[in-house]
Amino acid sequence: MPIESSGLPLEGVRVVEFTHMVMGPTCGMILADLGAEVIKVEPPGGDKTRSLPGLGIGFFRSFNRNKKSVVLDIQTEEGLATAKELIGQCDVLLESFRPGLMDKLGLGSEALRALFPRLIYVSHKGFLPGPYESRLALDEVVQNMAGLTYMTGPVGRPLRAGSSVNDIMGGMFGAIGVLAALRERERTGQGQEIQSALFENCVLLASQHMQQFQMTGEVPPPFPSRISAWSVYDTFTVAGGEQLFVGAVSDKQFATLCQVIDRPDLASDPALATNAQRVAVRPELLKKLGATLLLQDLEALCAKLQAAGLPYAKVVRPDQLVHDEHLIASGGLVSMDTGDGGETQVALLPLLMGGRRPGVRHPLPVIGEHTDEVLSRLTTASA
């Protein structure tokens, strides 16, 4: 069966995915959105991520679009043989199992690349090789290890980021590695192993604070206790208990803000003439601004700030994004068939390519939906 023409940059690239949860599936989703044929290998009964409760309930829907589902039991001799045959027809393999499992099954990088030299093998791990490599990791584990929870919460109350930031970012770096390896394979004819890891991911997120320490010799304070570079860069409560972030990062912006909220006394105060002067008295200044903003209607204030060209943002919940006018108008939020008779709205990759957004081409696959289609090609190829 010929590969479906998509006109997308990775058309013709075939990927086999042995992953679950978030990091590996994110990598596969990015490649699929960009046009690769991504075959998700699920165990009998399906990927357990499909049935996670609570905060995990949206994982499968969020990170598995545009893929094909094949059910194989790679713990059996027959399933393992079929998996190897399928891998031999693919350009890229993605895996996110615990350290050592793929090697134990005979599906490790070294064994497979000896059989298939052009194969690009991508492992999504907790840690790159080193003293920590055998430890099990979760997003929250590495957020604590790499300083993110410390920087996010107030003093004495480390707080994780409210999303699977390292899992998602790890999938992104896995995909970046695939793109680079495909380009290198054009030159050398050889595949290679790629590793992407949660801990190293989070270290990159914390790198600006590491540099801050090395440049000043002072331990960076957590974000809620930070010494701000700007006098007005905060979230305020306005009328009705609504919350609004407002930033004024230059002297001109501060003057404009004072005009917008009708506080000419602050704009004309010589003790507040420069940003450095305002930062020196920041707590008192924020109290004065807060008292004024508390009387402001949210929508009316947003309209004034928009007209004045000042940076601002309502504090938005994820459920409100489903109706966000910009996401809808820009084509970044689209419908997807969930494969069970339902429909959902999904956020697309945050990029524009040649004026178009890589979107949803196929419904979310049901368990094993493409098993016959994909495995029949193995029979055809070996005939």
Catalytic center residues: 167
Phi (first) and psi of residue 46, to 5 degrees: 90, 165
Angle ∠(129,133,139) on CA atoms, nearest 5 = 115
CA dihedral 286, 287, 290, 292 (to 10 degrees): -110
Backbone CA torsion sign across 138, 143, 145, 150: negative
3-state SS record for 148-200: HHHHHCCCCCCCCCCCCHHHHHHHHHHHHHHHHHHHHHHHHCCCCEEEEEHHH
Residues 6+ apart with CB under 8 A from 16: 39, 41, 83, 86, 87, 90, 92, 93, 94
Among 139, 128, 63, 140, CA closest to 99:
128
CB 121 within 8 A of CB 88: no
CA–CA dist 59, 176 (Å, integer): 21
Residue 156, CA distances (Å) to 24, 119, 203, 213, 224 in order: 33, 47, 21, 19, 11
Beta bridge partners of 39: 16, 68
CB 152 within 8 A of CB 161: yes
3-state secondary structure of 201: helix
DSSP secondary structure of 215-235? HHSSPPPPGGG---SSSEEEE
Residues 6+ apart with CB under 8 A from 60: 25, 47, 49, 50, 52, 364
Indicate the pairing of strand 243-248 with strand 312-314: antiparallel
